[in-house]
Amino acid sequence: MVKKISDLYTNFINFIYHKKLPKKIYTLFFVLIFLISLLPLILVARKSYPRTDDLTYSKYTGEAWEETHSLLKVLEAAVKTDAHFYFNWGGGYASAFILSLQPGLYGDKYYSLTPLILMIAVSIAVFIFLDHIIRKLIGGDRLDVIFIAFSIIFLIFQGAPDISDSLFWHTGAMSYGLFWALFLLFAHFLVKYQFKQNVITIILATVLGFIIAGANYITLLSALTLSAAFLIYNCLQNNKKVIPGYISVFIATLIGSVIHIAAPGTAARFEREGTDYNPFIRAVQTIISASCHAIWRITEWTDLKIVYILIISLPIMAGIIYKSRDKIKDHFKYPLIPLIISVIWLCILFCPPYYGIGNSGSGRVESAVYFTYVVLLFINAFYILGWIYKKTSHLKIWSHLYEIRGMVVFVSLIALVLLVMGSRNNAYWALKSMINGEEVLYLSDFKEFIK
């Protein structure tokens, strides 16, 4: 019996080492798993209804559509909504406009398109961001981009802390998720301009910086911090070719931030929520509380699902590094620096809600931070793997891993099918809700509003 088991194991290892599974096969298999995992979420979305905030933001646009059925009049009403909320509540000059255009305006059945819109927006942003970094800067191919992108997107939608708030609810999904996707595009343009100076690229980054600053304080702070980081780095490097461009981006983002923060609606919201406090004491409390909460969330979010997808992706990352070893040999020197910056970044993102209301905020806020956590996780994993390669590049394991990565990934993906059905992901929650008849979302709010 022992000899048979030993022989089976030996044959299996030999099979792995001698079979090169085409990359197209395991990439296609992973995409298929990803699409299947989204089906329960899309099916549950059919049972979602507008929530109170959706109906409040779409008051003017809803009336315009009912009275005229003119898209131009709806857009005029959206501008009116934007002005109303800027002066009376929140100050988000970009988000209020988007929130007033919820799909339910054109019929209740269309409200369920909200998750699909967000999924498409996030997916496009992730693909564009990774395509430039992996394929154009590092030297990977398009299938590498597809695999890593779908890994990130899978974790974003299967691990989001509160999908009822951040995916199915239009106000939550668009005010945070959509603008997070725009922030990722913003980051893409900043990175792209660093290596290839193009007027269109910097104009797009400047416009996006201004728009993102008018959405919510999470994306505002992200855009302001990132644009400042690029500007400071290039000033220290005395890179005169790109400094003027990054100055324009930073100024546009800063102006947008001031317009948002100084809005009468922002003051009205703070006053209503009772945020009367000593600014200095509150700032100290915020830094401590936000940092503790961020570190706790990082440990909680790093569960089996995250670890497993990361392990599956490591052979692909190793293949990219090995294939591009000559191009990136002078990089990956300080693995702790990206890790420390990432933790600090996540701590900073929790500061706005802690400063404003004394806690981490709603599920949509936590989900926006979680989206950033997933992207940073993969960036750090790739960097650390690159550092390990620099230290161990003389070992033959790297060439072996490059040859067998397809089979390793494929075997791992088979096990992923079982993981998709595990209790620690949103597809499981959606299936359970449908089986138990609990998938109707916000119906009570909707009925109460239309009485």
- For the record, the structure tokens of 276 come out as 């009367």
Token readout for 239 is 């890179």
Residue 13 pLDDT: 44
Coil/strand/helix, residue 48: strand
State how far the Cα of 216 lies from the Cα of 256, in Å rounded to an integer: 11
Q: Out of 84-93, 280-289, 397-406, which region has the weakest mean confidence (pLDDT)?
A: 397-406
Given a cut of 90, whether residue 185 has pLDDT beyond it is yes
Q: Are 139 and 327 in contact (CB under 8 A)?
A: yes
The burial of 42, by beta-carbon neighbours within 10 Å (0-12 exposed, 13-18 middle, 19 or more buried), is given as middle
DSSP letters of 62-115?
A: HHHHHHH--HHHHHHHHHHHHHHHHHHS---TTHHHHHTT-GGGG-GGGGGGHH
Q: Which residues of 111-133 are buried (b: 16+ CB within 10 A; e: fewer)?
A: bbbbbebbbebbbebbbbbbbbb
Looking at per-residue pLDDT, the higher value among 228 and 58 belongs to: 228
DSSP assignment of 379-428 = HHHHHHHHHHHHHHTTSTHHHHHHHHHHHHHHHHHHHHHHHHTSTTSHHH
Output the six-digit token pair for 259: 């317009």
10 Å Cβ neighbour count for 398? 18
**By percentage, how much of the chain surpasses pLDDT 70?**
79
Contact 138, 324 (CB under 8 A): yes
**Tokens at 198, concatenated:** 């193009």
Average pLDDT, the chain: 81
**Backbone phi and psi for residue 356, each to the nearest 5 degrees, phi listed first:** -80, -45
Model pLDDT for residues 120-146, shown as the tens digit of each residue: 999 999 999 999 999 888 888 888 888
Each residue's pLDDT tens digit, 204-226: 999 999 999 998 889 999 999 99
Q: What is the DSSP letter of 132?
A: I
pTM assigned to the model: 0.86
Instruction: Read off the pLDDT band of 56 (50, 70, 90).
Output: confident
| Cα 246 to Cα 16: distance, rounded to the nearest angstrom | 49
Sign for the pseudo-dihedral over CA of 246, 251, 254, 256: negative
pLDDT given for residue 162 in this prediction: 79
Average of per-residue pLDDT across 61-85 = 89
**pLDDT (tens digit per residue) in 388-425:** 888 887 766 665 555 555 555 555 555 555 555 455 57
Position 7 scores a pLDDT of: 57
pLDDT at res. 414: 55
Copy the structure tokens of residue 347. 């701590």
